[in-house]
Structure 1
Amino acid sequence: MLITVETSGIAPSLISGASSFSGARLAVLASGRGSDFQSILDHIRLGVLQSVEAALLISNTPDAYAMERARKAGVAVEYIEGVVGKKYPDKESRIRARQAFDAEALRILKQYGATVIALAGFNQIVTPVIIDEYRMRIMNIHPAYDVKRYGGVGMVGDHVHEAVLANHEQYSGCTVHYVEAAVDLGPAILRQLVPVKPGDTVRSLADRILVWEHRSYSKAIQIHVDGQFERRRDLSEQ
């Protein structure tokens, strides 16, 4: 059963999308502590990220600290019961549960007038229910530079860094990309190399990459909002 709990306290005029703001209305989907989300909020507040309004946070985890960050910043918060960690009789049932989640999320996204979506530590696979509606307007950040080797289903969080260290890579990094059905393999907006240092542990490497995640996500959102990605793609096709 999907449960949506509205905790925003935002005026109805804003919930309907009737804001006077003319820039991009950003919705963030997060499942955990929300450090990437916080960096986006900070960059908006400082004017580093321009023509972007944080309109909404959606979480699939009832105790996600990202929701508290949103409330403190005056950003609308919505919770939808997620599918991660639940048992289903078969793969098809799990897919249907994800689709049902995304249908409810899509309804909320439209309700708030979201024009662009950022997945920030969101631990659930997004289905075409949302992807098709927000194609080339929904993005994700992945903690690896080489997403073909260190991306895809199961390559999340510390698993990525463990694999990088096990293969004795000299570099890792992060990639901000548009979301498509193939997990982590949508068009890359921005990629950042981060060196792997002698003696690195999973934690030390993860912390170093996280610093660059915080810088890279806002930069990638700005690239999208300014239309730089589309112009770059048009030039490459000429």
Structure 2
Amino acid sequence: MSCNIVVLASGRGSNLRAIIKGIKDGKINGNISLVISNKKDAGALKIAKENGIEAKFYDPAFFASRRGYDIYIAERIRKENPDLVVLAGYMRILSDEFVEAFEGKLLNIHPSLIPAFQGLKAQKQAIEYGARFTGCTVHFVEKELDNGAIIIQAVVPVLPDDTEETLSERILKYEHKIYPQAIKWFCDGRIKKNGRNVIIENAKYGEVPVNPALEDF
């Protein structure tokens, strides 16, 4: 049975494009029924339309509070009866009500090896801290920002001459690999979560730079 996915995005949509490719290539047993953005000019909306996916912009300015906006968005998402809700560059802090509504089936990707460098500008944080390595993390979304149970991470070295832009671009290449991989595992029912511990059934572990190891992307 195909996994029904809803995607929330605020930006250019490169991770959305990678997920769509994974579906079209037959690697992800799923379909995206809806893409929602809080930005009218988000590239993700254009990508969705180009691929025949329903795309909706909802303006936060029409809502009195972040909570009110999230409640409205959650109700719209429920109409899709999703198996999975994916945050793909969605630049809003979610209310507790939204997180609770989709607990256990809400994923995010963050451009660091969490719990390091949480919040905005994680790449800049890594450079300023003098980190030798950073990367990206796919994790379950929980109420505490960028602190949910980890599904998969990729390690990226910080080079001596890196800028925020160059490091971000190198990390992004790994985001495009590990996010579709995590979604594939979820849709195949291979992710088993016990508190903060996440096990991928029949996955290879201990391989660098990704742990657990990429299989398909």
TM-score range, shorter chain: 0.7 to 0.9
Matched, 1:56 2:24: no
Instruction: Tell me whether 219-228 or 208-217 shows the greater mean CA deviation.
Output: 219-228
Instruction: Please state how far the C-alpha of 1:187 moved relative to its aligned partner.
Output: 0.5
Assess, with a 3 A threshold, how the Cα gap between structure 1 residues 117 and 234 changes in structure 2: closer, same or farther.
Answer: closer
Question: TM-score normalized by structure 2?
Answer: 0.85
Assess, with a 3 A threshold, how the Cα gap between structure 1 residues 56 and 197 changes in structure 2: closer, same or farther.
Answer: same
Distance 2:153 2:9 in 1: 21
Q: Any idea what the Cα deviations from partners look like across 1:31-84, whole Å, max 9, x if unmatched?
A: 1111111110111111122x211111000011111101000000011111126x
Matched ranges for 1:208-223 at <5 A:
208-223=170-185
Q: Any idea what the Cα deviations from partners look like across 1:66-115, whole Å, max 9, x if unmatched?
A: 101000000011111126xx9xxxxxxx9x71111111111111212222
Alignment equivalent of 2:148, drawn from 182, 186, 201? 186
Instruction: Please state how far the C-alpha of 1:128 moved relative to its aligned partner.
Output: 2.3
Q: Percent identity?
A: 29
Matched, 1:28 2:12: no
Query: Which one has the bigger helix percentage?
Result: 1
Aligned residues: 198
Query: Which one has the bigger strand percentage?
Result: 2
SS in 2 for 1:130: helix
Distance 1:24 1:97 in 2: 32
Give the letter for the 2:125 counterpart: A
Name the counterpart of 1:149. 116
Q: Any gaps of 5 or more consecutive residues in structure 2?
A: 201-217
RMSD, matched Cα: 2.1
Q: Which has the larger radius of gyration?
A: 1
Name the counterpart of 1:176. 138
Alignment equivalent of 2:18, drawn from 39, 62, 73? 39
Name the counterpart of 1:65. 43
Instruction: Please state how far the C-alpha of 1:167 moved relative to its aligned partner.
Output: 1.5
Assess, with a 3 A threshold, how the Cα gap between structure 1 residues 234 and 168 changes in structure 2: closer, same or farther.
Answer: closer
Give the letter for the 1:111 counterpart: K
Matched, 1:106 2:106: no
Name the counterpart of 1:6. none
